[in-house]
Copies of this chain bind each other. A is one copy, B any other.
């Protein structure tokens, strides 16, 4: 690669599970281009998001800070105006930093009087990123594209409606029972196809100036409907059975049963439903993979492949029936463990190309990694970044003090389940820690959850109440306490400290 600073392509899918790549052994879904990316980079199998909800998970990626620090722990909660994002960091460093796709960002009316959060994320790009193309589920650019391609207005008004075999168009918002049928837009006109085209156009437009592009696909997020042939690419009879056990419903955590009702999990009790939806979900992932193949080919043609740091991940996973659930949330691995591939083009990363690593990764690590690869260490503060650069791992080093656990933080006051259970808003907070051996969920007034991952990797049996795990529970609570104390938001403190490390005169030296 040239001596200049590399470009950055930060690709995010929405609601894609970590296990849905052929390169990690999935029995059905095929992702040859992601596998190729992994073969030239590093695949991290234990990458975790800090929230399994779109908005807060993304704000962690974008700010490099935990939800409690960036203070946006749920969708539509404004990201405070003083939070500094990837867009700010790269923009200030002279990069052309742009967005192509989705952010779920909500602007902050406090500290930024011009912000209009009522208009929501559809009207505002992520702070600091140029809005090259916006697609918060259905962007105006994509809809205009459909119109230009001659689609009827009723298709544009409801693009994820499907073509029913009866020939009757389904109207209104797409429900979740049509996963077998194709969308009315053609494969070459899908949102995934369009965003990929726009990403390529951006790369051409950026020319020789260094760029940071956040390519953020809306899929495989629900509605689980795909254009032909992806709706029919995989045979539902091949879909692997959900990871769930009768015990989960027989001795449930008090939150589980109402929450699975609220989030649509009950539909997945029906075998026909989970078989078809899984098949279509896999089809949507292969659709993304196909377009990434196009994109990677384009980059190679343009000579960008060896100039560009590529990070591929997802904002969170999807249960598609695991644990009797749909969507994400709670703290199971299907929701929090995400695909995570880094291809660092520099020769210093050659030693690890094609490796799969088990080091724990958090979403917070993406920003410091991108900054270090681009030689942008020591960026201005605040905020104080809470992640850790992966560059040492990419070089083949294994720092002895690498993290031994990952953490997550969930404010669930906006759901209906706590209202049904009588949990007041201020008690709606849960924390999770996952290390090599255990997954532990701590709530503020609800029973604990503990899984012994060595015996129960599928997280099917809550052993928090078993006396033989009392020591483990106590230790894991201490990990949460230490985590929290070690990760206060010190944005202003660190900024002040950088200017004034001492206070008065040193009494210990002459």
Q: Residues of A at under 8 Å CB distance from B?
A: 68, 71-78, 80-82, 108, 110-111, 117, 258, 261-262, 382, 411, 413-416, 419-420, 425-427, 429, 431, 442, 444, 474, 477-478, 480-482, 484-486, 488-497, 500-504, 506-508
Contact = CB atoms under 8 A, between A and B. Distances in A.
Nearest to A487: B426
B73 A493 contact: yes
A481 to B, nearest CB: 5
Contacts of A507: 261-262, 416
Given A262-B507, A442-B485, A485-B431, A491 B71 contact: yes
Given A73-B490, A110-B491, 4 more contacts: A110-B495, A416-B506, A416-B508, A425-B497
Closest 9 CB pairs of A and B: A82-B111, A414-B503, A111-B111, A82-B110, A77-B496, A77-B492, A262-B507, A481-B481, A444-B485
This chain: copies in complex:
2
Contacts of A478: 477
A494 B74 CA distance: 11
A343 to B, nearest CB: 31
A45 to B, nearest CB: 28
- With a 10 A CB-CB cut-off, give which of A82, A111, A474, A492 has the most chain B CB atoms: A492
A78 B496 contact: yes
17 contacts: A75-B503, A76-B496, A77-B492, A82-B110, A110-B491, A110-B492, A110-B495, A258-B508, A262-B507, A413-B493, A416-B507, A420-B508, A426-B490, A427-B486, A444-B485, A477-B477, A477-B481
Contacts of A442: 481, 485
Contacts of A486: 426-427, 429, 444
A415 B73 contact: no
Nearest to A502: B416
A484 B168 CA distance: 55
Nearest to A109: B495
A258 B488 CA distance: 26
A506 B415 CA distance: 9
A425 B486 CA distance: 10
A262 B503 CA distance: 10
A503 B494 CA distance: 37
